[in-house]
Amino acid sequence: MARSKAELLQMLSDYVFEMEDEEIGSVAQEYIDASHDPLDGILEGLADGMNRAGKMYEEEEYFVTDLLICSDAMYNGLEILKPHVSQNADEDKKTHKCVIGVVEGDTHDIGKNLVKIMLETAGFEVHDLGRDVPLRNFVDKAKEVDADLICLSTLMTTTMPGMKDVVEMLKEEKLHKDVKVMIGGGPVSQAYCDKIGAHGYSANATDAVKLAKVLVGLDA
């Protein structure tokens, strides 16, 4: 007997949460074949599973490597569901845009990648500049895509000053009010955030999403 929509949604969520990154494709396909709404599948299935994984991460039951496999499962499901989402389904909703990257001189991008995954799960349009990013590129990209947010990450004390430089560039271009800057990474702190005039600091990927929502004016 065919599974109900509710059952399939639960399976999509569970397969993300339980890191079934290979098996999830067939569930997503079954969901589509039964003509259920793909957007529901993404939001109530895949994203729900990723959010549950995020909660476990906050509670220190899941670790970074767990979240990476969960996100593989999410993206594998997304690959099947997304092409079926009709173009105008979410047109009336404003998508918040975010530019993200690891500042110049640093190549540690695990934290940045996690924040990217969690922001995408939360519905942000994320433009990822990668790691070791020349500081100017953050501002240029933010202007190009009309971003609401710039997310800067570094794991090294030595490259932290680059964050301040980005804030200064935004001030020079009078973009500091329109483009919010949030920062994170091992040596970074709220005190440093206040010191350089960034708009917010978060200690981990799930807090980063809450902060991003507050900064762009969405409910956290």
Partner 1 sequence: MNPRDRLLGALQGAKLDRVPCICPGGMMNMIIAELMQKTGIMWPDAHADVEKMEKLAEAVYEYGMFENYGVPFCMTIEVEGMGAEVDLGNTKIEPHVISYILDTVSDYKNLKSFAVNEGRAKVCTEVISILKSKDKSVPIIGNLSGPISVASSLMEPVIFYRELRKKKEDAHRYMDFVTDQIIAFGKAQIRAGADVIAISDPSGTGEILGPKYFDEFAVKYLNKLIEGLREEYKGIPVIVHICGQMHKVYGELDKIKADALSFDAIVNMKEVKEQMPNRVIMGNVSTYALEFSDKKKIQSITRNVLNSGVNIVSPACGLGLQSPLENIQAILETIEEDSYD
Contact 77, 12 (CB under 8 A): yes
Does position 120 interact with partner 1 (CB under 8 A)? The reply is no
Does position 156 interact with partner 1 (CB under 8 A)? The reply is yes
Does position 197 interact with partner 1 (CB under 8 A)? The reply is no
Name the strand (E) or helix (H) holding 32.
helix 24-33
Supply the minimum distance, in Å, between the C-beta of residue 125 and partner 1: 21
Stretch that binds partner 1, among 1-9, 76-84, 134-142, 190-198 (CB under 8 A): 190-198
Stretch that binds partner 1, among 3-11, 30-38, 82-90, 108-116 (CB under 8 A): 108-116
Contact 104, 139 (CB under 8 A): no
Residue in 34, 32, 43 with CA at minimum distance from that of residue 2: 34
Does position 160 interact with partner 1 (CB under 8 A)? The reply is yes
Residue in 194, 147, 203 with CA at minimum distance from that of residue 170: 147
Instruction: Report the site for partner 1 in 25-64 (rule: CB under 8 A).
Output: 60, 62-64
Supply the minimum distance, in Å, between the C-beta of residue 104 and partner 1: 7
Provide the terminal-to-terminal Cα distance of the chain, rounded to the nearest Å: 40
Name the strand (E) or helix (H) holding 49.
helix 47-58
Does position 155 interact with partner 1 (CB under 8 A)? The reply is yes
Does position 113 interact with partner 1 (CB under 8 A)? The reply is yes
Stretch that binds partner 1, among 6-14, 75-83, 91-99, 151-159 (CB under 8 A): 151-159
Stretch that binds partner 1, among 27-35, 37-45, 88-96, 191-199 (CB under 8 A): 191-199
**31: its two tokens:** 């969901």
Q: Specify the residue, 33 or 60, whose C-beta has the smaller distance to partner 1.
A: 60
Residue in 138, 149, 36, 134 with CA at minimum distance from that of residue 95: 149
- Contacts of residue 201, defined as CB under 8 A and 6 or more positions apart, other chains included, come to 182, 183, 184, 188, 189, 190, 192, 193, 211
Residues at the contact surface with partner 1, assessed by CB under 8 A: 60, 62-66, 68-69, 72, 104-110, 113, 132, 155-161, 186-187, 189, 191-192, 195
